[in-house]
Structure 1
Amino acid sequence: MSSVPAVSLPLAKAPALRDPRFLRAHLLQPLLATLVLSTLLMSLGGDQWVADQWYRLEGQHWALQNAWVTAHLVHRVGKWTSTAAALVAIVLCTQAWRGQRLAAWRWPLLYLVLAVALGTGVVSWLKSITNMDCPWDLARYGGTREYIGLFASRPHAMARGLCFPAGHSSAGFAWISLYFFALMVRPAWRWRGLAVGLVAGGVFGLSQQLRGAHFLSHDLWTLATCWLVSLSLYLAVQPLLQRSRSPHRTMPAGEQA
């Protein structure tokens, strides 16, 4: 019986990880942009200005809070779709590590699974410790609480806030890891991968803002967190991937033909 041919990958030329231009473009510039936008949104009132516009357009109440499109289609179905995509990635990763046919995809798929899981996981962890409220909790938007900044002292009697960074948009922004996944397998596709994550996270985030669940800065920091997780994991996995593709690598006895 003939063996099933392996699915190979083109030996994509990896960016020089020690090249200052790579870190400048993928770490320093995004970080600087995040800090500048955060200052505008969180310190200079940009968050409230944007939320005020949505609140006014919805008739001085969050009319879309329980709407079918925002609460069910985007929030619930969107989360299910992201979960289903992650399950597909897990299945493919498992198959790649169990057999030889998809061996070339092992590290890229493992990277993708870990990046999505860690991106959403880190955002969830940050939400549990930052203690910030959603717009709909605030008196300015029909709630009962006063706005407390990220680094401001919060009264002990005030209930905990669990809204920063934005959890739901992480189910979309975590997929910006497709940018780095593409760098491993086909660099020309990296912008398409980035677009998938940005569009998905953007749609999820905008929907939640229209419901009064988050300020714009909440989604900005979710994006920044997912990007930093994806980049850090890429820097860790890329050398292992290149080593596995080395033509001089000695294959274990169980992998030899």
Structure 2
Amino acid sequence: MRTKRLLELALTALFLLLASAVLWLTDADRLIASLVPRDLAIAAMQSDSSRAWPTGNIFPWQQLYKWAAVPALTLAAAALAVLLASLFRASLAPWRRQAAFILLCMALGPGLTVNIVLKEQVGRARPREIVEFGGSRQFTQCWQPGEAGTNSSFPSGHAAIAFAVMVPWFVLRDEERRAAAGFLAAGLGFGILVGIARILQGGHFASDILWAGGLVYLIGGLLAMLMKPEQRAGHSCAG
């Protein structure tokens, strides 16, 4: 089972690298962003204003942006409640590891890796900030250091927290496959929708969305190998 999990993560990482190469070779990041309607008059006056990208400010895109974190935070709140209650209710003790896993995934994925480490250090300018779309900064690929400062474009924090809805997949995938697949599909679908909203708002490139989802999955997979959340107390898992 460990070998299977490692292969799965390796294939996920390979997919991310290959998809990034395609985006680079085709210049798809800028091409996709160029297809979004923009108000050039506003862009000329306020190059960093999302109002220059009006499509992203209408229903349902603005609502997706506004509520992107709610489902994942609800999951985290439920996990915290279970973790705390398990200290007093023996019936919940078998779920203590799973609750801790969900909380750690949220903290290490969308929290530490995406929003604190990468967004604060990479410095990639957002689409609405680059010269081609009325801004003043130069475009950089997702792996190139930029000069946009903190809270930069790579990767998307909103998309990452939306993709985090998939986290229960790692808990349920061995014994509750249908429910696990539901969480995985919901996380991927919601993350993609929020990612589209952020592209329409001039906030992110397609590669920012790609890596937001990929990092959440890779961190979840690595943490699952360490914590084995699919195993409840009193249960064993072959392999």
Same fold (TM over 0.5): yes
Larger mean Cα displacement after TM superposition, 186-195 or 233-242: 233-242
Shift of 1:87: 1.3
- 2:218 alignment partner, one of 220, 223, 228: 228
| Mapped contact 1:178–1:197 kept (Cα < 8 A) | no
Partner of 2:46: none
Task: Structure 1 unaligned segments of length 5 or more: list them.
Answer: 1-15, 248-257
Q: Map 1:206-221 onto structure 2 (within 5 A).
A: 206-221=196-211
- One-letter code aligned to 1:62: W
Q: Map 1:26-175 onto structure 2 (within 5 A).
A: 26-55=8-37, 58=38, 61-67=52-58, 69-71=60-62, 73-121=63-111, 122-124=113-115, 125-152=117-144, 154=146, 158-160=147-149, 162-175=152-165
Task: Tell me, in whole angstroms, the C-alpha distance in 2 between the residues paired with 1:117 and 1:153.
Answer: 24
Shift of 1:180: 0.6
- One-letter code aligned to 1:53: L
Shift of 1:99: 1.7
- Cα distance 1:101–1:109, how it changes in 2: closer, same or farther (>3 A)? same
Shift of 1:240: 9.5
| Mapped contact 1:62–1:211 kept (Cα < 8 A) | yes
> Among the aligned pairs, what percent are the same residue?
23
- One-letter code aligned to 1:142: G
- One-letter code aligned to 1:47: D
Write the deviation string for residues 120-170 of structure 1: whole angstroms up to 9, x where unpaired: 11111211111101000012112122213345465xxx5426110111111
Task: Structure 2 unaligned segments of length 5 or more: list them.
Answer: 41-51
Larger mean Cα displacement after TM superposition, 115-124 or 127-136: 115-124
- Cα distance 1:35–1:88, how it changes in 2: closer, same or farther (>3 A)? same
After TM superposition, the runs of 4+ consecutive aligned structure 1 residues lying more than 3 A away are: 58-61, 65-69, 149-154, 239-242
Task: Tell me, in whole angstroms, the C-alpha distance in 2 between the residues paired with 1:97 and 1:229.
Answer: 27
SS of alignment partner, residue 54 of structure 1: coil
SS of alignment partner, residue 78 of structure 1: coil
Partner of 2:180: 190
- One-letter code aligned to 1:48: R
Task: Tell me, in whole angstroms, the C-alpha distance in 2 between the residues paired with 1:209 and 1:159.
Answer: 17
- One-letter code aligned to 1:160: G
How many residues matched?
A: 222
Task: Tell me, in whole angstroms, the C-alpha distance in 2 between the residues paired with 1:183 and 1:150.
Answer: 31
Shift of 1:41: 1.2
Write the deviation string for residues 172-215 of structure 1: whole angstroms up to 9, x where unpaired: 11222221111255234221121121012111111101101000
- 2:192 alignment partner, one of 180, 194, 202: 202
SS of alignment partner, residue 35 of structure 2: helix
Larger mean Cα displacement after TM superposition, 161-170 or 87-96: 87-96
TM-score of the two chains, using structure 1 as the length reference: 0.77
Root-mean-square deviation (CA, aligned residues, Å) is 2.4
Bigger radius of gyration among the two: 1
SS of alignment partner, residue 169 of structure 1: helix
SS of alignment partner, residue 190 of structure 1: helix
Task: Tell me, in whole angstroms, the C-alpha distance in 2 between the residues paired with 1:146 and 1:104.
Answer: 52
TM-score of the two chains, using structure 2 as the length reference: 0.82
| Mapped contact 2:166–2:186 kept (Cα < 8 A) | yes
